[in-house]
Amino acid sequence: MIPPLPDLILEPLVRAALIEDLGSHGDITTRTVIAPGTVTSAAIRARDGGTASGMQLAALAFRLIDPSLRFEVLVPDAAPFAAGDTLARITGDAAAILSAERVALNFAGRLSGIATLTAAFVAETRGTSARITCTRKTTPGLRLVEKQAVLHGGGFNHRVSLSDAILIKDNHIAAGGGIRAVLQAVKARASHMMRVEIEVDRLDQLAEVLDEGGADVVLLDNMDSDTLRGAVAMAKGRVVLEASGNMRLSRIADVAATGVDYISVGALTHSVPVLDLGLDF
């Protein structure tokens, strides 16, 4: 089970989305056509099958509009569902339900899309020890919840921000004087509590990293499967190996079989389709 994030952290995201949607005068359509005091019930239903995520944010959207609304989750975050399934029921003031509807569905649809795509990638790694992980290619302002959706889909999180770990990319190497120079700088300056990852795109670079030391993880960028197998054989378990670059769903099973420890997939968050969810009265 994936523990929920504190509502205190998520509430500002949902509040900002509601303020954006309500505009300067609130929901004038609902205020015009719905009689005050109208009570009803509604259901969030799936038009397609997938894996749930964003239900906590959907609940917050309704609660922030009207704390008296009753939101009942039927399919919790990280649970699978089929097309036609009811994910949640909302009961209470009809105007409040209508005013929160779009924000709730926007969060739940996007995050369920991420969880669903992640689950599809994870399924391709079965029978291997490889783990699917996300990247920092996320929607600005929504990284925390998008990475939570990756967890709901069975994946793992890479660093959340630039301050989580040292990740030396090719541009760092170019600007820092080469592989040995940047690794020596890390060994001289970095905290002993900070993990270090370095990117390579050739086996001779990997050999240089292994000879110099100082890295905990090596990112193998844009290598074909044969080269990845060579990297695994060369490393012999001395560092964690992460394959990255153009990781399509159709390729994942082959990459996982090379023996790498992690496969990072930017597509989990940067180009995922929104799952089709609807709210029905």
Residues with active-site annotation:
102, 137, 169, 199, 221
Residue 132: phi and psi, rounded to 5, are -85, 130
Short-list 239, 181, 175, CA closest to 207:
239
**Distance (Å, whole) CA 18 – CA 25:** 12
Short-list 261, 169, 258, 165, CA closest to 221:
169
Short-list 46, 142, 147, 125, CA closest to 87:
46
**Distance (Å, whole) CA 218 – CA 236:** 13
**Distance (Å, whole) CA 196 – CA 186:** 8
